[in-house]
Amino acid sequence: MSSQPDLPDTLLVTLTGKDRPGVTSAIFAALSGVGIEVLDVEQIILRRRLILGVLVTAPREWKKAARVVEETATALGMQVEIERGTGDNRSRRAGRSHVTVIGRPLRASQMAAVAGRIADSGGNIDRIERMARYPVTAIDLDVSGADPEALRPLLAAEAARQGVDIAVQPANLLRRGVRLIVMDVDSTLIQGEVIEMLAAHAGHEPEVAEITERAMRGEIDFEQSLRERVALLEGLDADVLDRVYDDIVITPGARTMVRTLRRLGYRFAIVSGGFSQITDRLADDLGIHFARANELEIVDGRFTGRIVGEVVDRAGKARALREFAEKVGVSQDATIAIGDGANDLDMLNAAGLGIAYNARPVVQEAADTTVNVPYLDTIVYLLGISREEIEAADAEAGIVTPAPPV
């Protein structure tokens, strides 16, 4: 029977103080003179205050090494603590997750509640990193010791109580790989509903809006509702499509999200219960790779009040996601679906990560996670991309980003 190797003596050096160039190099230079090995390092900066933790093997004359580090810290105007112990930094436990918390604002009481639920689940927060500080605050937590599938419903309930958004994702390679993002269009990629905008020109907006709302809540069959609404457009001049397209408002952050993730090789698709005469133009405008929607029948320049071909309904959206994933060459686990209505539910369930975006309650309850802030680029924080990284990439491309509030 083999014996366990002796654990090394270690020193944990924790340095705090005002950040300045050269602090980290000076500490390592001091440590290099006493012949040690570096086992682990963590460094963060908060409001120009540096916190540096270095775990090293303890030399035989460890007190001499401690004095050298203390003298270096004093010369730098920093405070230092040195703790002697045994063993390397422990490995993270099984059950690893990325937990992203988004608030507008994010209060201390809300973070306390989230951390409490993680502790209740047996999880430990190993690392915390800020993803964004405006226009939302997004914080990423690395959690170990809790099954992600068990942690997700626990934190979803807490998110609802606290009025924040929380996403739980397994800590695996998928988060770093190329993925396919499939989006709903109306009230997700764009603000409002195209069919209601068309109906306004036909004088039937109130009736159409009422049917749309019932369909999005899942109270009536989507295909039935679509055909009822399209019938009210009969006789409308098809030139109205140009006017409606010009009036469309893209959801804030949508262009930033697409632009940022395309740089990383992501692929995008839009799948809509709306109309290809609009969605195809949106795809071209935003640089989206695939689009699928219903086609309005037009005869002699006017709407007939009918749909051409098969209706893209709830099941059709899920089929489109699977087909696009196959075209891109990624697994369904590497897909992200974003939607707001009941007809998006199958698509959200088929995706590796289903996101309810400012969605109806029935959708929020069924989705993997929810985002309830009016910025679509918030999605990138769930993928481990920070606001600072987005702005740096935009600056290199000559895109000016508004300055954050002071």
The C-alpha atoms of residue 287 and residue 255 are separated, in whole angstroms, by 9
The C-alpha atoms of residue 52 and residue 41 are separated, in whole angstroms, by 8
DSSP 299-331: ETTEEEEEEESS---HHHHHHHHHHHHHHHT--
Find residue 113's DSSP bridge partners: none
Pair 185, 245: CB distance under 8 Å = no
Catalytic residue among 140, 184, 340, 344: 184
Is 377 marked active-site? Answer: no
DSSP code for 237: B
Catalytic residue among 186, 344, 368, 377: 186
- The token duo for 139 is 């914080």
Q: Say which amino acid occupies 174.
A: L
Helix (H, G, I), strand (E, B) or coil at 148: helix
Helix (H, G, I), strand (E, B) or coil at 384: coil
Sequence-distant (≥ 6) Cβ neighbours of residue 288 within 8 angstroms: 258, 268, 269, 270, 282
- The token duo for 391 is 């702005």
Q: Say which amino acid occupies 120.
A: D
Burial class (CB in 10 A: 0-12, 13-18, 19+), 308: exposed
Closest CA to 263 of 86, 134, 392: 392
Is 184 marked active-site? Answer: yes
Other C-beta atoms within 10 Å of 277: how many?
Answer: 19
Find residue 143's DSSP bridge partners: 97, 125
Please give the positions annotated as active site: 184, 186
